[in-house]
A and B are shown apart, each in its own frame.
Chain A
Amino acid sequence: MGNILEVQGVSKNFGSFTALNNVSISVPKGSIFGLLGPNGAGKTTLIRIINQITMPDSGHVFLDGEPLNPLHIKDIGYLPEERGLYKSMKVGEQALYLAQLKGLSHNEAKARLKYWFDRLDIGDWWHKKIQELSKGMAQKIQFVVTVLHQPKLLIFDEPFSGFDPINANLIKDEILKLREDGATVIFSTHRMESVEELCDEITLINKSNKILDGKLIDIKRQFKTNTFEVGISTKKQDVLEQELSEKFQVSSANFKSLGNELKLNIKLSDNDKPNDLLSFLCNHGEVSHFVELIPSVNDIFIQTIQNN
């Protein structure tokens, strides 16, 4: 498959402030790549470098194997976090203008816009001005404008902000569809649940350095603690809890259930097998709940940043 985007050792300073320090990322073709980090970590600077808005002080960027050059502008679609449209311009004119700036011809742009407007059911907005539309409506237009020129690489910075849940879902489905059609997506957001849902790979940037990257599933494996969440009903709860804490690390758990069972988080050591725990529990009561605790992206994010 290969990588659509290679960022190699990119650094960028603004005066005495270092925005990026020797950051490298590789984005595989066809993936959805999560670019994460706290505010001010340098994500936007990195995205701007990929978009050739800012030039790096050092390091190289390759798109599809070629060093980044102005011709690549038409291969990238960028939805910035700070986004907007000309308020007093009509929707249609504006979309045509922006599409033409991306290198589409007037007619081609018009045909594709028609397709997208029909698809999102916003055809009758063509002659409206942006200031007459609601924020969510304007965001839809903005999304269309970003993907209209069928770029190989899409960069979305907080794509769901300003959308209600229904429209957010709609956009999410469109993003997944674009990926199916062959596009690669870089996705920068603070909404960890959408990272969880969408991303194949993630990179975590903190204080201008990359501190974590890889396939999401590998990272989760790396962060898992062999902890199981357990719910068990027994007459002698105290005795069981006592017995368990002699063998494992045990803490009380909190999850929703219908009964009044004993709820525990049980951390296994590397030698312990989950099956042994389960059969032990089965011998001591009625097991209603047995789940391995997989670290959420949220947990990983907070844990990594705090340790850093």
Chain B
Amino acid sequence: MNHLRLIIKREYVTKVKNKSFIVMTILSPILMIGLFSLVAYLSQLNEEKERVISVLDESGMIQDVFKNGDHISYNILENMSLKDAEELVKQTESYGLLHIDKLNNVDSVSGHIKFYSEDSPSLSVISNLESKIEKRLENLKLQNKGVDIGMIEAAKTKINIVQESFEGEKTSKIDSVVKLVFGGLAGYLLFMFIIIYGNMIMRSVIEEKTSRIIEVIISSVKPIQLMLGKIIGTSLAGITQFVIWLIIGGSLLFVASAIFGIDMGHMQSPNQQMMQQAMENPEMNMQIQDVLAAFYHLPIANLIIAFIVFFICGYLLYSSLYAAIGAAVDNETDTQQFVLPVLMPLMLAVYIGFFTVIEDPHGTVSTVFSFIPFTSPVVMLMRIPFGVPIWQQILSLLILLGTFMLTVWFAAKIYRVGILMYGKKPTYKELIKWIKY
């Protein structure tokens, strides 16, 4: 045990003190946040520009709806020909000219509304105009048929179906979204963690081989101790890096939004504008409450415990394979052939997670893959927020644990033989043979 502690300590300290590790740890959140802020800032600049749209409404039916807004103001032109209007718009350098033909009949609008501009107009501007005109025309048509608009407004109803499980637990659409976010986040985190730090372990094993220190070490400690020490030490360094990223990222985000005064949800796109409109609704406040409620509905204790257990087992399962690959080859270029088959079940798990679990968290496919050991950590983590029976979790965990031990045993065998083999890249057949040594 003393040896294991020493190895873990060395692995951790050398990783953490490594220059490129430090640079990556500090720089990547700064770069990410910097980039994000830049994009947000630029799009804000874009949005702040006041746009003037000239409107020539020869029908006179629609122009009332064009009220000056935050970033768009309308210049209503009257009593001039289209040609003059165009000239005027060009001279005043306004954003564009909306021209509505003389209409006799509200039904024959199509082809009579045009937008002229120097450059092609932004999508959001056009959709904004379209929705205004559509609304106006709808109302006009209804009025023509003798319908009272007031009555229609009064008749509008908003429905939100209350969902309740047989056990009396209330759920809602928001619930599903929150669960999805949590499950997705957990699964994706595990995926990223395995790829980043699995590779780090593999490189560290290869380093010991190429520097030829391995035999010196192996004469003092058991290979499996070295392997486990490496995995644990590297993982601790990984956790340290993740936590620092979270802290730096969080505080930078805070600082950046304070300095630039950027409302992060404010980036311009038609969708987001709609969201913004919705935000102003009182309904939205209700929804925020729903989100909070959904958060409380999550099986928090189960989620945390399952996250820790599945994360650790899943990560160890894969990282021991990475360690075995590192031991089997001499240099990093030879790893490709072996990394791919390890990566495939992992990718499969993420795809299943994001496509199938979202669709039907308790369907056959989701359930089956949450038992198969190489995909279960990711898929199960994504399923758990939706409520998975405890027996399923335990069964899946037992299968995972069994496979984990088998894999570590297998990896340790390969590792034990591989670290002392130099010179040539082994074939799969040779790897199998090594197990018998």
Binding site for B on A (CB under 8 A): 14-15, 48, 51-53, 73, 76, 78, 80, 82-89, 97-98, 100-102, 142, 145
Contact = CB atoms under 8 A, between A and B. Distances in A.
Q: Give the interface SS of chain A, mostly helix, strand, loop or mixed.
A: loop
Given A86-B211, A100-B6, 8 more contacts: A15-B436, A76-B219, A78-B215, A80-B216, A82-B215, A85-B211, A89-B14, A102-B220
A193 B150 CA distance: 112
A78 B422 CA distance: 19
B10 interface: yes
Nearest to B7: A101
A80 B215 CA distance: 7
Contacts of B208: 86
A78 B211 contact: no
Nearest to B430: A15
B14 A73 contact: no
A15 to B, nearest CB: 5
Nearest to A99: B220
Given A15-B433, A15-B436, A73 B220 contact: yes
B212 A83 contact: yes
Nearest to B222: A70
Contacts of B6: 97, 100-101
25 contacts: A15-B436, A15-B437, A48-B420, A52-B219, A53-B215, A53-B218, A53-B420, A76-B219, A78-B215, A78-B216, A78-B219, A80-B212, A80-B215, A80-B219, A82-B422, A83-B213, A83-B216, A84-B211, A84-B213, A85-B211, A86-B14, A86-B207, A97-B6, A97-B10, A101-B217
A188 B245 CA distance: 51
The 9 closest A-B pairs by CB, nearest first: A84-B212, A80-B215, A101-B220, A84-B211, A78-B219, A51-B219, A84-B213, A82-B212, A53-B218
Given A15-B433, A88-B18, A53 B213 contact: no
Contacts of B433: 15
A48 to B, nearest CB: 8
Contacts of A101: 3, 6-7, 217, 220-221
Contacts of B422: 82
Contacts of B213: 83-86
B14 A88 contact: yes
A145 B216 contact: yes
A64 to B, nearest CB: 18
B67 to A, nearest CB: 67
A100 B7 CA distance: 10
Nearest to A78: B219
Contacts of A145: 216
Contacts, number: 61
A101 B2 CA distance: 8
B216 A87 contact: no
B359 to A, nearest CB: 49
A97 B437 CA distance: 30
A82 B210 CA distance: 10
A123 B221 CA distance: 28
Interface size class of B (residues with CB under 8 A): 20 to 34
A86 B211 CA distance: 6
A100 B215 CA distance: 16
Interface in B23-53: none
B3 to A, nearest CB: 6
Contacts of A89: 14
A73 B212 CA distance: 20
B184 to A, nearest CB: 38
Interface string B213-243: 1011111110000000000000000000000
Count chain A CB atoms within 10 A of each CB in B10, B216, B433 and give the residue with the most. B216
Contact of A73 (B211, B216, B219): B219
Given A15-B437, A53-B420, A88-B14, A83 B215 contact: yes
A98 B18 contact: no
Contact of A53 (B7, B212, B219): B219
A97 B2 CA distance: 12
B212 A98 contact: no
A88 B350 CA distance: 36
Contacts of A86: 14, 207-208, 211, 213
B64 to A, nearest CB: 74
Contacts of A78: 215-216, 219
A145 B207 CA distance: 20
Contacts of B420: 48, 53
A212 B207 CA distance: 39
A294 to B, nearest CB: 36
A107 to B, nearest CB: 15
Contacts of A98: 216-217, 220
A15 B221 CA distance: 25
Nearest to A48: B420
Nearest to A82: B212
Contacts of B216: 78, 80, 83-85, 98, 142, 145
B195 to A, nearest CB: 24
A26 to B, nearest CB: 22
Given A53-B218, A88-B18, A89-B14, A14 B437 contact: yes
A73 B219 CA distance: 7
B292 to A, nearest CB: 49
A104 to B, nearest CB: 11
Nearest to B9: A97
A20 to B, nearest CB: 13
Contacts of B215: 53, 78, 80, 82-83
B4 to A, nearest CB: 11
Contacts of A84: 211-213, 216
B21 to A, nearest CB: 11
Contacts of A76: 219
A53 B419 CA distance: 11
B429 to A, nearest CB: 11
A54 to B, nearest CB: 8
Nearest to A145: B216
B211 A87 contact: yes
A195 B49 CA distance: 88
A88 to B, nearest CB: 7
A142 to B, nearest CB: 8
